[in-house]
Amino acid sequence: MIMPNYSRFVLWLGLIVFACVLSPRGQAQSPPAAALPAQDGQPTAAGTSGPRAEQLPDQQPSGRLSGTAVDQSGAVVAGARVTLLPEAPSPAQETLTNADGRFSFANVPAGSFQLTIALTGFATQTSSGTLRPGEDYAVPQIALSLAATISELRVTPAPVEIAEDQIKVEEKQRVLGVIPNFYVSYVPNAVPLTTKQKFELAWKWTVDPVNFGITGVIAGIQQSQDDFNGYGQGAEGYAKRYAAVFANSVTGTFIGSAILPSLLKQDPRYFYKGTGTTHSRILYALANAVICKGDDGRWEPNYSSILGSLASGGISNLYYPAKNRDGLELTFENTLINIGATAASNLLQEFVIRKLTPKAPGRESKVQSAIEELLIVPLRGGELGAPQSMVLR
């Protein structure tokens, strides 16, 4: 009896399995049918009729763009680079306008786009729009305008103008605000002077009122010591000495600081060092008695000063009293004395005079107190309660 019961169980089990296979649930789990062949050139999906199938969004047909680039006069522009930026994620495209100024892009995805047109010499132009599926879009004519020219103009003063400005500063340099100190440059790389500027500086030094006063003092000292006694004493002797001293100044200045420096291309000025050790500055000041800067900026023997002293000494024999003329010997002696005096003057320039020159570059505010101290005048006697000193301003 066991076998029939087992057989019935197997039979019922088989019927149940068969029923499950034929149920709708089993059919729902079957794979979808493949797409049917397109009807009338239209791709369709399973379960839809070909002619009536709707186009899927990601299968929208592409379009075409075209246009023309011209300049402001309306002439076509060839060779302009046109860049198309369609909607993401489509890549950018580039092309060049042809000889007729035309450009075109095929297979452009539908959607918004932007065109950029660039050409050397013209300002970059942009144009944007929206392309519909399958549309042949004609871009409005694009007119390129000339690019704005930005020019950088650097104006560099001519060397003669720079030198003129530097001379104006030097002409304001006066020791204690009085004595001219024109032949010193506190600019180490000052522009060399032209011939005209060398003569102008010599003239301004010669006719400076202080120079006339210094000449008078020297003539007075000579007369008091009875130097060049061939001139005699009294007003006439003083006048002759004054004229001789002034003549020495004129010839020495013009020959040694204008004529020869122009011919030999040398700078007659002393260039203040102001840096380094004291020892190096002393050697620099002493050496500048016999060397100078050339107009090319190189150091060279100071032929202008040395030959100028010799020439001035030789000329002085024309107006000194006959009995006071020592000829060639006196001329060379005075030249050596002049070199020594120049060395001493350079030492003063390097260590002392700048501190007493209000208009020297960078010294305007530092020397005022020093000048005031030098100009304190003691007062003796006076009324009760009178100040014992006062500052002359």
66-92 tens-digit pLDDT: 999 999 898 999 999 999 998 878 888
Confidence of residue 380 (pLDDT cuts 50, 70, 90): very low
Cβ contact 233:203 at 8 Å: no
Q: 6 or 63: whose pLDDT is higher?
A: 63
DSSP code at position 276: S
pLDDT of 6: 38
pLDDT of 208: 96
Average pLDDT over residues 51-68: 68
User: Among the listed ranges 146-150, 169-173, 249-253, 293-297, which one has the minimum average pLDDT value?
Assistant: 146-150
pLDDT of 360: 82
Where do the domains of the chain lie, and which CATH numbers do they carry?
Answer: 61-144 (2.60.40.10), 159-365 (no CATH)
Cβ contact 228:236 at 8 Å: no
Average pLDDT over residues 88-117: 90
Distance set, CA 195 to CA 180, 262, 266 (Å) = 21, 5, 10
Residue 264 has pLDDT above 70, yes or no: yes
Q: What is the pLDDT of residues 243-257, one digit of tens each?
A: 999 999 999 999 999
pLDDT of 287: 96
- SS3 label, residue 203: helix
> What are the helix (H) ranges across the chain?
2-22, 24-28, 159-170, 195-206, 209-224, 234-254, 260-264, 278-287, 303-316, 327-351, 368-374
Distance set, CA 354 to CA 12, 163, 271, 343 (Å) = 130, 21, 12, 16
